[in-house]
Amino acid sequence: MTKASMQSFKVINVNFVNSIKEQKKIELGFSYSYNVKYSNQNTCVGEFTANITDKSNPDEFKITVTANGMFRFEQGAQKEFLHVETYNELFPYIRAFITTVTANTGIPPIIIPFIDISKKEIYRFEMGKNGSKPNADDFVNPYDNK
């Protein structure tokens, strides 16, 4: 398995809204996105965005956090494996940040669930030849054995 090592972590955006007027039980919804951008020098930047909202009243309670992690990796590493490894390495930092922020705002701390992306389909978007605009055939599912 390829080894990626995180060189830095940085929260680049936080949006926190808590305008719930009375003490009540809320049902949280969670969504996320994770993308990796690669350079030619065996480095990449993983960007993780987590969205947490009250399912019934998303305008009254929501948290959005976007953070970046910069990684170094071995020459010739497969991007699909790097995508999973960098996610697994970055996720605990995002989780801890969200837990700390919510705990320090006077509400019960929120601990976001781990999502095992190694069990999800990963799509890679390849640029067309000579940097041309890609077409639909340039989407690659590395786990599709067709």
pLDDT (tens digit, 9 = 90+) per residue, 80-124? 889 999 999 999 999 999 999 999 998 899 999 888 887 655 544
The total number of structural domains in the chain stands at 1
Q: Is position 117 within any domain?
A: yes
Q: Is position 107 within any domain?
A: yes
pTM for this structure? 0.77
Token digits for 141? 């599912």
d(C-alpha 103, C-alpha 96), whole Å = 10
Q: Is position 80 within any domain?
A: yes
d(C-alpha 115, C-alpha 87), whole Å = 10
Residue 11's domain is classified under what CATH number? 3.10.420.10
Give the range of the structural domain holding residue 68, as residue numbers without chain letter. Answer: 4-140
Beta strand spans in the chain (E): 4-18, 28-38, 43-54, 61-73, 124-125, 139-140
